[in-house]
């Protein structure tokens, strides 16, 4: 077993070959945190890691040498000698918020339990993981707190969550319930967050931890473009390939809080979970509340090591279904080709051209339903617009399949336009606060997915389309944040639950569609990257990474996203130029060279390209089909950051290390520049590799230590032959030479 309990010292040691995590039952029967990091030898007693001191201005309950303010805790509460931000808070009938959850029992078992109604990592055999379940009890409230820890035997990761059970006779309100709390013994860390806005999501932002609180969060009803529910702590000397790194990822798609509090004794408290702002969950007698899951990943081999742990885990034990292990089809989406200006004939013509060039999946985006001719009407009316599609989705999908392609469809199931039949029939189905002005975003309101009857109605409409038609792919969009969050279906003392209930409604609709239409490939979207989180990957194995399809901006967006999410999860497409977001002119080759590293596709009308451009597209599609298994399921390495350099680079290596692809991107050209080499990673040091386009072969250790020569035509005076420009790029293909 990967979980050891020492009865005499009352300590739990969670471990595998790479990591150790040690918890101790404290003298007051609460839980203390002793260690998280690289695997250490087990011993009967790690109590020496728990230190006590009589400090001035310290409050205690009994022993002046023992105060919760100065003890590293496992799941802390506020108000009984600890003044730091707590992991939990329970509002009781008498107005008190004090709790005292103490150890009652524990259970150790093989495997991993499923979380009710929530996304979570999983195992396919009990031998893959071991789970520790610790039950704490507040005797005054007759309430239980169950802490769950799963150690994956093959990965340096631990999954955590908490469950509250009210066994008392009176209702309580849980107003704070973190998924993860971790007290670290020092603050010598750099904090990395992934922040931005629409069309510039997940930009890498780093700073040193200092005394005080550093946090990112969302209160928008979704995880958001602005901040991602994933943070990293690394030692200052750590980099991509060496040093101690910890990643903290929340498997959740709603309001979140990620926080590090450093006290004046330099202890760091890390927390991750549902944002307690505007949150309250009423627990009646006999009811339970389960927090979302959080995953902690540890690496002693730098940032890439941490990322690769999450990539493997999320790719194979978070994503599910028939598409989990399949390479993704090359698609063409009509949105930037037509916007709302299309009919069936025009769509079929676009699809025919795409098929000629090797595209496998044609996706019909917005505008196919209801009275939808702009973004101001039709949302909520999920039936085909017969003026545009006289044969409906059924007829169009059959025509696309007759071409030898698969058919995909865009939906935005969570929203409604005031100008729609659905809203006219059920105006109370939109989230809105009585007596208050109801805000709109993109001319739409948010449906009350906290209500089962609303979710059922939407399911019935879209399931009818899917049952009658040949739909192989769904792009599920969500184009606005939640305002005026109030549900008419719930009483006043449950309005704090609506944000969370909304996300549970989204998850429930996904689950029903997945179970009833298991062959459909789902891609999540939220105005691009507004809900790119681990929770979504449980339902949709890929996500539209950003509405910004400009290749140069995508280098940063995809680079930042790769810290916490696998390459195969990133929707990445080649779009037209001038780019529709930046009006930038970027070479078609570079657009392809960036988009290869994801779920590859096109956002344009191929008929509008020149014949030379069409030839390039055909080469790109052939290249992607040849190498997509390596790209989407190989080991990914970040080599050089676009946030720090004018030249960015990354690479992916096949599992057998026989094939590798290096993406190399120069943002702006330079003149008479230096000779350049790039140190590669992940190769077999003893293997001989041929590099496409180079006459020689190289040992793996040469390429990793001496480096791959990447000098471009800008080194020296350009006279003739290949030239280098702004936004220049190159893909290096490495194949193992016959031994």
Close Cβ partners of 459 (under 8 Å, ≥ 6 residues apart): 509, 512, 513
Token couple for 491: 């009483």
**Nearest CA among 86, 63, 60, 62 for reference residue 73:** 86
Identify any residues that bridge with 90 across adjacent strands, giving them in sequence order: 174
Q: How far is CA 639 from CA 317, 562, 609, 657, 662, in A?
A: 26, 12, 33, 17, 9
Q: CA–CA separation, 485 vs 487, rounded Å?
A: 7
Residue 99 has φ and ψ, to the nearest 5°, of -135, 165
Buried-state track 260-286, b at ≥16 Cβ within 10 A, e below 16 = bbbbeeebbbbbbbbbbeebbbbbeee
Q: Which residue has the tokens 């080649």?
A: 574
Token couple for 648: 């960015």
124 burial level (CB within 10 Å; 0-12, 13-18, 19+): exposed
Q: CA–CA separation, 221 vs 434, rounded Å?
A: 19
Token couple for 640: 């050089």
> Any idea what DSSP says for residue 134?
E
- Residue 162 contacts residue 139 (beta carbons within 8 Å): no
Report, in angstroms and rounded to the nearest whole number, the Rg of the chain calculated over CA atoms: 27
**Positions marked active-site:** 477, 547
- Residue 321 contacts residue 518 (beta carbons within 8 Å): yes
């Amino acid at each position: 077993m990967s979980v050891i309990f020492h009865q005499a010292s009352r300590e739990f040691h969670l471990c595998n070959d790479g990591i150790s995590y040690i918890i101790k039952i404290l003298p007051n029967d609460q839980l203390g945190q002793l260690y998280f990091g690289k695997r250490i030898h087990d011993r009967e007693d790690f109590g020496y890691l728990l230190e006590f001191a009589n400090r001035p201005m310290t409050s205690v309950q009994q022993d002046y040498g023992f105060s919760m303010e100065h003890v590293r805790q496992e799941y802390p509460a506020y108000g009984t000698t600890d003044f730091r931000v707590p992991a939990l808070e329970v509002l009781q009938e008498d107005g008190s918020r004090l709790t005292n959850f103490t150890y009652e029992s524990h259970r150790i078992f093989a495997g991993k339990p499923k979380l009710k109604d929530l996304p979570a990592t999983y195992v396919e055999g009990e031998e893959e993981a071991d789970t520790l379940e610790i039950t704490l009890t507040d005797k005054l409230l007759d309430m239980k707190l169950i802490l769950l820890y799963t150690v994956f035997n093959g990965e340096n990761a631990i999954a955590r969550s908490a469950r509250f059970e009210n066994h008392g006779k009176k209702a309580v309100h849980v107003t704070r319930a973190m998924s993860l709390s971790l007290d670290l013994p020092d603050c010598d860390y750099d904090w990395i967050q992934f922040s931005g806005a629409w069309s510039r999501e997940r930009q890498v932002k780093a700073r040193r931890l200092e005394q005080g609180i550093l946090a990112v969060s969302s209160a928008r009803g979704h995880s958001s473009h602005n901040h991602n529910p994933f943070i990293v702590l690394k030692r200052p000397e750590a980099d991509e390939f060496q040093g101690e790194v910890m990643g903290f990822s929340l498997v959740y798609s709603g309001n979140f809080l990620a926080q590090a509090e450093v006290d004046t004794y330099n202890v760091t408290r890390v927390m991750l979970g549902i944002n307690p702002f505007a949150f309250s969950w009423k627990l009646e007698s006999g009811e339970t509340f389960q927090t979302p899951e959080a995953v902690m990943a540890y690496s002693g081999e730098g940032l890439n090591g941490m990322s690769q742990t999450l990539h493997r885990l999320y790719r194979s034990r978070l994503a599910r279904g028939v598409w989990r292990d399949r390479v993704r089809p090359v698609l063409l989406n009509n949105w930037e080709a037509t916007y709302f200006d299309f009919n069936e004939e025009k769509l079929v013509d676009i699809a025919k051209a795409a098929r000629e060039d090797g595209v496998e999946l044609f996706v019909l985006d917005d505008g196919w339903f209801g009275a939808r001719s702009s973004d101001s009407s039709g949302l909520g009316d999920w039936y085909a617009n017969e003026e545009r599609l006289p044969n409906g989705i059924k007829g169009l999908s059959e025509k696309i399949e007759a071409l030898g392609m698969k058919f995909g469809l865009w939906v935005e199931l969570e929203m409604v336009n005031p100008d729609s039949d659905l809203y006219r029939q059920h105006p109370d189905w939109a989230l809105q606060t009585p007596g208050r002005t109801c805000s709109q975003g993109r001319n739409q309101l948010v449906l009350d997915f906290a209500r089962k009857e609303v979710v059922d109605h939407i399911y019935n409409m879209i399931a009818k389309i899917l049952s009658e038609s040949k739909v192989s792919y769904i792009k599920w969009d969500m184009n606005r944040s939640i305002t005026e969050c109030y549900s008419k279906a719930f009483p006043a003392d449950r309005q704090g639950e609506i944000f969370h209930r909304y996300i549970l409604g989204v998850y429930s609709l996904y689950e029903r569609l997945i179970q009833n239409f298991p062959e459909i490939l789902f891609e999540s979207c939220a105005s691009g990257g507004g809900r790119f989180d681990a929770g979504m990957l449980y339902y949709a194995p890929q996500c539209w990474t950003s509405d910004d399809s400009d290749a140069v901006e995508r280098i940063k967006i995809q680079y930042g996203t790769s810290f916490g999410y696998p390459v195969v999860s990133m929707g990445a497409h080649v779009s037209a130029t001038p780019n529709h977001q930046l009006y930038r002119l970027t070479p078609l080759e570079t657009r392809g060279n960036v988009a290869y590293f994801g779920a590859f596709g096109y956002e344009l009308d191929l008929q509008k390209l020149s014949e030379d451009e069409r030839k390039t597209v055909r080469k790109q599609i052939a290249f992607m089909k040849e190498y997509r298994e390596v790209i989407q399921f190989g080991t990914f390495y970040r080599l050089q950051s676009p946030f720090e350099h004018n030249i960015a680079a990354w690479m992916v290596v096949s599992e057998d290390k026989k094939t590798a692809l290096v993406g190399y991107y120069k943002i702006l050209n330079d003149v008479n520049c230096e000779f350049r080499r790039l140190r590669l990673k992940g190769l077999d040091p003893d293997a001989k590799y041929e590099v496409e386009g180079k006459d020689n072969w190289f040992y793996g250790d040469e390429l990793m230590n001496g480096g791959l020569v990447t000098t471009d035509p800008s080194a020296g005076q350009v006279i003739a032959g290949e030239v280098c420009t702004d936004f220049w790029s190159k893909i290096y293909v490495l194949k193992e030479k016959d031994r």
